[in-house]
Amino acid sequence: MTDKPFLDTNILIYAFAKNDPRSEAAEVLLAAGGVISIQVLNEFVNVSRRKLARGWGEIEEQVAVLRVLLDTPIPLTIELHEAAVAHARSYGFAFYDALIVAAANSVGCTVLYSEDIRHGQNILGLTISNPFA
């Protein structure tokens, strides 16, 4: 079990955003440290490149900051996949949201910061919290 929160991709995106009202809250969360998975890191790179049109150098610099501030990302495994399928079935989550919940549960996080999953929901001791609500 860890007392560190799990951070969803949107927290990372907003922490590096310019002129976004959510940036300050996201920066505070990121600076406090936490846990992410390889999926979250991959989504961060994908959104940064495709939706935000950031250059590779800027993305690599931001990933380097994440590597310093956050724990080593949780790898994707068959066990995580199977847990995500079970969460998607049981809770009606989209699969990739279920995969984030499964990753957070796998290391015993008690809080998942996300604006994409229902605020206040508790899944096996993991509470979803929208820091922008």
Judge contact between 6 and 104, C-beta under 8 A.
yes
CATH superfamily of 6-129: 5'-nuclease (3.40.50.1010)
Which pLDDT score, from 0 to 100, does residue 103 have? 97
Q: Is 18 left (phi over 0), alpha (psi -120 to 50) or beta?
A: beta
Half-sphere exposure of 50 (CA within 13 A, CB side): 6
Q: Classify strands 111-113 and 122-123 as parallel, antiparallel or unpaired.
A: unpaired
Which ranges of 32-122 does DSSP label H, i.e. alpha helix?
A: 38-50, 56-69, 78-91, 95-106
* Domain spans in the chain, listed from the N-terminal domain onward: 6-129
Q: Classify strands 6-7 and 122-123 as parallel, antiparallel or unpaired.
A: unpaired
CA 115 to the chain's CA centroid:
10
Please list the pLDDT of the chain residue by residue as tens digits (133 residues).
Answer: 678 999 999 999 999 998 899 999 999 999 999 999 999 999 999 999 999 999 999 999 999 999 999 999 999 999 999 999 999 999 999 999 999 999 999 999 999 999 988 888 999 999 999 999 8
Judge contact between 109 and 125, C-beta under 8 A.
no
3-state DSSP of 21-32: CCHHHHHHHHHC
Q: What is the pTM of this model?
A: 0.93
Q: Which residues contact 88 (CB under 8 A, 6 or more apart)?
A: 94, 95, 98
Task: Give the burial class of 81: count Cβ atoms within 10 A of its Cβ; 0-12 exposed, 13-18 middle, 19 or more buried.
Answer: middle
